[in-house]
Amino acid sequence: MAKPLKQPRTLAEVAFWNLLAARQEAGEDTGLLAQAKLLKQAAAATATVAALAIADADGAGANGWPTQVEFAAYWKVTERHAQNEWAQFRRAFPTEESPDRLAKLIRDNYRAKLAARRIDVAASLPAEPFGIAAPALA
């Protein structure tokens, strides 16, 4: 089981623990190299959340909140790339359907960081106020 922390877990840490738990449940390797890859995936998942919040703050959504297609156009990536980002997010945060809810919370509560283009905002935020918890690991 994960050791109790003095500080609350961040969204990036929860993403990492979720990805690690999924690997453990699947009986896949969880060694050091595997964990390094999971850390990169967790960072990518939280970056998607911040990138979506920034796209919204810049008005990327024609009818309000940006769609995946509008997200892709705003960040100048392919629609397939955006689909892959959403899929990676869902693996890192399996209780979330999309990055929308977390991105909206970041938009509503961290406008100054978004205005400063602080893409790291999602990774460093405590997860608990967002209703996100890390799994207990064996």
Task: Measure the CA–CA gap between 81 and 55, rounded to whole angstroms.
Answer: 16
What is the pLDDT, as a whole number, of residue 9?
82
Q: What's the chain's length in residues?
A: 138
> Cα separations (Å) of 62 from 8, 55, 71, 114, 125?
36, 11, 11, 19, 28
Report field, pTM of the whole predicted structure over 0.85: no
For the segment 109-123, the average pLDDT, to the nearest whole number, is 72
In this structure, of 83-87, 107-111, 120-124, the range with the lowest mean pLDDT score is 120-124
Contact 63, 56 (CB under 8 A): no
What is the pLDDT, as a whole number, of residue 6?
65
Read off the pLDDT of residues 56-93 as tens digits, 9 standing for 90 and up. 988 899 999 999 999 999 999 999 999 999 999 999 99
Task: Measure the CA–CA gap between 90 and 112, rounded to whole angstroms.
Answer: 27
Residue 136 has pLDDT above 90, yes or no: no
Confidence bin at 108 (pLDDT 50/70/90)? confident
Task: Measure the CA–CA gap between 84 and 78, rounded to whole angstroms.
Answer: 10
What is the pLDDT, as a whole number, of residue 3?
58
Confidence bin at 131 (pLDDT 50/70/90)? low
Ranges of H-type helices in 1-138:
11-25, 32-57, 68-75, 79-92, 100-109, 111-115, 121-124
For the segment 92-113, the average pLDDT, to the nearest whole number, is 88
Task: Measure the CA–CA gap between 132 and 123, rounded to whole angstroms.
Answer: 13
What is the pLDDT, as a whole number, of residue 135?
66
What is the pLDDT, as a whole number, of residue 106?
85
In the chain, the N- to C-terminal Cα span, in Å, equals: 5
